[in-house]
Amino acid sequence: MAGHLARLLEAEQFEQRRRDVGELAVAQAEHRIASRSRRLYQQHGDRIGRGRGVRLAGVQKDHAQGSIETTQNPTDIAIEGDGFLQVQLPSGQIAYTRDGKLQLSDQGVLVTAEGNPVLPNIRVPAQASSLSVGPSGIVSVMRAGTSVPEELGRIELARFTNPAGLMSMGQNMYTATPASGEAMVSFPQDEGTGRLLQGSLEMSNVEVVTEMVDMITTMRAYELTSKSIKTSDDMLQIANGLVR
C-alpha cells in the first residue's frame, strides 16, 4: 500500500499489485499451559483447534484502466480500453506494454522510452511536418508541400484471455505465459480492443482513497490482533494464579 502511494506521483502507467493470501492449515494442537493449571484446563477439553495464520499466496498485477492525462506530445499514445502495445526486445522476444510514452529513434522508427521498436515497425520520414495517430491505429504524416496525409502503417494491439497471468519484466513490460494464454492481435477498435488517444498518457491506476482506507484497515486489524494476544496472555496468568 505504501509502495502504491509512493509510485502514484512519480510513474505513468504504474499498475497496482493485488495480494492474494491463503489460510494456513488449522491444526488440532495441545494447549500449552503451566502444569499446575493443566487440571483446570482439562475440565474444558485438552485439545483445541489452533489456526496457523495466513500466507502470501501470490501477487497479481491489476490491469484496470488508469486515468488519461493529456500531454500534447504527438508521440504519446494512451490505450483507452483493452489491449497492449507489442514491443520487440533486443533479444528478438516480443513483450507487451500499455505504457505509450513513445518517441522517434534517430532512424525515425517509433520506439519505447527504452529504445525498443513498437511492432509492426513504423518509420517516420525526416521530411514529415506532422505526425497523426488515429483512434483505430492508423499512423500518417503530412509532408511539406502536400495537402493529403500519407499513411505509414497501422499500430496493432494484443489482447489476452487472462491478463493477470502475464509475467512482469519491469519497466511496464510483460511477456506471455501459459497462464495468460497466447496473444490475440488485432487493430484498435476491432474485436473488443480499445482505441488509441494521441497526445495522451495512461496514468497510474492506484486510487488514493482506496489505498488510505486499506492502510487504516490493516492498522486496525493489527491493533485488534495485538490486544487479543495480550488478553489471552492475561487470562492464562489469572488461571495460573487460581490454582496456587
Cell of 155: 499500430
* Least confident stretch, 3-7, 175-179, 201-205, 232-236: 3-7
What nine digits make up the cell of 37? 493449571
For 47, other C-beta atoms within 10 Å of its C-beta total: 9
Confidence tier at 191 by pLDDT (50, 70, 90): confident
- Could you read off the pLDDT of 50-82 as tens digits, one per residue? 555 666 666 667 778 888 999 999 999 999 999
pLDDT in tens, 118-144: 999 999 998 888 999 999 999 999 988
The answer to whether residue 30 scores a pLDDT higher than 50 is no
pLDDT at 38: 52
* The three grid cell numbers given for residue 43, joined into one nine-digit string: 475440565
**What pLDDT shows up at residue 27?**
46
Residue with cell 506532422: 130
Q: Is 118 helix (H, G, I), strand (E, B) or coil?
A: strand
Q: What is the pLDDT of residue 36?
A: 46
The answer to whether residue 18 scores a pLDDT higher than 90 is: no
Q: Give exposure, 194-204, as e/b (b: 16+ Cβ within 10 Å).
A: bbbbbebbbbb
C-alpha torsion sign, points 140, 191, 189, 183: negative
Calculate the alpha carbon distances from 146 to 1, 130, 142, 154, 187 in Å: 53, 12, 7, 21, 28
Would you list the domain boundaries of the chain? 2-61+229-242, 68-202
Please say whether the beta carbons of 243 and 39 come within 8 A.
yes
